Every structure is written in structure tokens, then in C-alpha cells.
Structure 1
Amino acid sequence: MNRIFITGIGTGVGKTVTAACVTAALEADYWKPVQSGMEEGTDTATIQALLAGTTTICHPEAYVLKEPASPHLAARMEHITIDTSRITAQADGITGNRPLIIEGAGGLLVPLNDEMSTLDLIRQLQARVIIVAQNYLGSINHSMLTAKVLQHTGVPVMGWIFTGHHHSNEDDVIRWSGYPSLGRIPQAGEVNSAFVMEQARLLTGPLNASLYDH
């Protein structure tokens, strides 16, 4: 199965909306292994609502944690430990020919437990990465740190998806990182199914080209 991991340069950069658009574009299935924070519902429920009426299967989380914190902290507060082997076993149980879009929690180096980070999980899952970036003060540094870590570890990267308002920083990040842009998802007054489907239509060509080039 083609596994594509959606990571971000930080928190709040638009990973879930991007995951919805990528899932729709590739007619894929969706999975968020670790959900931390329940006040506004789960990301899985958001994806299900945005992709209602499609053939996408949203697989259940391996861990759902109440506290909106780093997964290792949220798990510690509930007196549990996140076991990445349980996550990879669940991934191996997901079968079929459709791509699987996997949404991470936070960025690459967010700890899942005392020993493993999100990056370690990506490597265990043997997934390719799409990096979600958004322009804000300090975002170039966060973008390049993310790219450098992926380059150093040899994790395959499909490219960038930029969100929010356009900024010329995007061209610099693409050039310095060597990773291509797969597209951008603009700022929206309301994110609904129609918005997601329109953005998915625009992303389909670049995503398919990147998916089958690797």
C-alpha cells in the first residue's frame, strides 16, 4: 500500500485540511494514528464530515488522548504509554490498493513516548512525506529545519503543500530545500466539502505525478 504521511513545520499550519484535500485528490483512505486533544472533536471526525459521500474509509485511531498536548505528555497524563509497534501493527492490518493518507500530530520531532518521535514512526511505517508549511514569522527556519531532518535521515519526500496567504518565502523554501511544490491551499472563510473538492481537483495532477515518480 502507498503510505503518505502528512507532517507540518509546526502546529496549526493546516495539516488536517491538507490531509482532506490530498485524500480526496488521490481517492485515498485516511488514518490519524494518534489524536491528542478532544475539545473540538477529532481530526478523523472532521475528515469524515468533509469527505462525506466519497468512498474514503477513515480508519480508527490507535490512540485518542484528551489533553491538547504533545502525545507523550498527553499519554503520560492518562497513565499510558504510546506503543509504536501497536501503531505499525494496525497499519499492516489496513489492506487494499488505495493510498493511505496518514496525518501526524505536530511536527517531525514531536515525541510519542520517551524514546520515539513522529519521525521514527514515519520510518517504521515506510511512508513518504508531504510537508505542510504556512507563512509566519520564523516559518522559513521551521521549514528548513524540517527539510534538513528529512534529508539527513533519507526519508522520501514528495514535496511541499503551502497553506494560507501566499508569500514569496515559498519560492525560497522550494529552492533551498530542493523539494518541489505540490500546490497550495488558500485561506478560506469557510472550509467545507465544496472547498475541499475544489482544492483536491487542483492538486490531483501534481500529486499523481509525484506519487508515481517514486
Structure 2
Amino acid sequence: MTRFVVTGTDTGIGKTIFSAALARTTGAPYWKPIQSGLEEETDSEVVARLAGVPIRPEAYRLVTPASPHLAAEIDDVNIDIETLAPPPGDVIVEGAGGALVPVTRTILYADLFARWQVPVIVCARTSLGTINHSLLTIEALKARGVPIHGLAFLGDAVEDSEAIISDISGVRRLGRLPIIDPLNNETLAAAFKTNFDRSDFS
């Protein structure tokens, strides 16, 4: 069974692109529990375009582009944590922003991951600051007993940063997805096949 949660060290680092590549490679459906901001292409729409896999409907679609806890308050929506559980079977779940983004005023995404006990893939950018952000994210997940499947780096190669994050944290490197231009379903699939081992996601 293919069941993974994709989280990251920050927002806007490429988690959705990685999620699309992983979903396309494995054929697993994609699920974004909470979508904040509907004016631009949503994460589910991006994955549908790039991966061509089944898309599970979001539990909450919030108009305001903000952290889920705040977007829900502005949109006058009550997020019920009990409704946030991954669908059964194969699925790629993508969180919002980083692992410590608030879902409500009292629950963080990392807390949800701890409840779910689905293996988490931590996406980390390779640019300046990633060592600190990555190690903090991993420590926060480990402190909650979240199972971590591995690290996926995003961006240009920075061997020392990638190596030291893995060495210090004890979390294995799965690979690195480079910047892809042009980005489409074929180029994304080719980049993932070149830089990741399919057997690591079985």
C-alpha cells in the first residue's frame, strides 16, 4: 500500500510539485485536507494537471489565503479535527506550509500527523537556511512520535547541506527534485525517475 504524508520546512518550497511527481509515479490518489485560498490554481488542481491521478475532495476549501486556523476564522468556518483523517487505501496527503502550521488555535499539522501515524516525507529546499529549518522540522515531528519516511530535497544541488541534515537527524535522503523548466507532466515524471528510486516508495 502506498500511503504517505508530504510536509515541508516552509511554504512555497515545492511540496505540491513533489506530491504530484510522487502521485504520478505511484498512481496513488492525492488529498489536500485543507485548501486555503481559491483565487489561483489550487494544489489539487496543480496535481491533477501534472499527475493525472484521482483527486480526493478537500475536507475544507477556504477562500482566504492564510494559515488554515486564520482562514477558517475569517471565512466563519469551524474546522472539526475529527473529519480530518486520510482516506483509506493508497493516498498521497499534502499538508499546508510547514509541519508546525496551525490547523486550529490548538492543533498543528504535526499533531494531526501524530494522530494519523502515516509515514511522513519531509520536503526541504536546498537554499540558505535549510539546515536549521530542516532539523527543527524533524525534531518537532520526532518529538510527537511521527514516523518519518525520509527527506526529499527541492532545488539546486547543495551536497554539504543535504548530507549534514541527513547525518545529524538520522533521516535518510530519498533524493532531490531539481528546478524543472519547462514544467509539465512529462518533464516532471522524467526528473523524478532520474533523481529518485521508485522502490523507496513501495
TM-score (ref. length: structure 2): 0.92
SS of residue in 1 equivalent to 2:149: strand
Aligned to 1:118: 109
Residues 30 and 58, structure 1, Cα contact 8 Å, conserved in 2: yes
- Structure 1 unaligned residues grouped into runs of 5+: none
Question: Could you report, residue by residue, the CA deviation over 1:118-164 in whole angstroms, capped at 9, with x for unpaired residues?
Answer: 01111222211000001233221110101111222221111111111
Q: Structure 2 vs 1, CA of residues 83 and 185 (structure 1 numbering), >3 Å: closer, same or farther?
A: same
Displacement of 1:203: 5.5
Question: For residue 111 of structure 2, what is the amino acid of its counterpart?
Answer: D
Residue 36 in 1 paired to residue 36 in 2?
A: yes
Residues 13 and 124, structure 2, Cα contact 8 Å, conserved in 1: yes
Using the alignment, how far apart are the partners of 1:10 and 1:204 within structure 2? 22
Aligned to 1:143: 134
Using the alignment, how far apart are the partners of 2:104 and 2:79 within structure 1? 6
Question: Could you report, residue by residue, the CA deviation over 1:81-122 in whole angstroms, capped at 9, with x for unpaired residues?
Answer: 21111122xx3xx344xx310000011111111111101111
Displacement of 1:2: 4.4
Percent identical? 38
Aligned to 1:182: 174
Using the alignment, how far apart are the partners of 1:176 and 1:29 within structure 2? 33
Displacement of 1:182: 0.6
| Aligned match for 2:121, one of 112, 121, 130 | 130
Aligned to 2:56: 59
Aligned to 1:20: 20
SS of residue in 2 equivalent to 1:115: coil
Using the alignment, how far apart are the partners of 1:68 and 1:59 within structure 2? 21
Aligned to 2:155: 164
Q: How many residues align?
A: 201
Question: For residue 159 of structure 1, what is the amino acid of its counterpart?
Answer: G
Using the alignment, how far apart are the partners of 2:62 and 2:5 within structure 1? 20
Displacement of 1:185: 0.6
Using the alignment, how far apart are the partners of 1:203 and 1:83 within structure 2? 38
Aligned to 1:6: 6
Question: For residue 127 of structure 2, what is the amino acid of its counterpart?
Answer: Y
Displacement of 1:57: 1.2
Moved over 4 A (4+): none
Using the alignment, how far apart are the partners of 2:40 and 2:148 within structure 1? 30
Aligned to 2:165: 173
Displacement of 1:66: 1.5
Question: For residue 113 of structure 2, what is the amino acid of its counterpart?
Answer: I
Using the alignment, how far apart are the partners of 2:191 and 2:81 within structure 1? 32
Residues 72 and 81, structure 1, Cα contact 8 Å, conserved in 2: no
Greater RCO between the two (CA within 8 Å, min separation 6)? 1
Aligned Cα root-mean-square deviation (Å): 1.6
Displacement of 1:43: 0.5
- Structure 2 unaligned residues grouped into runs of 5+: none
Using the alignment, how far apart are the partners of 2:196 and 2:26 within structure 1? 7
Residues 34 and 63, structure 1, Cα contact 8 Å, conserved in 2: yes
Aligned to 2:190: 198
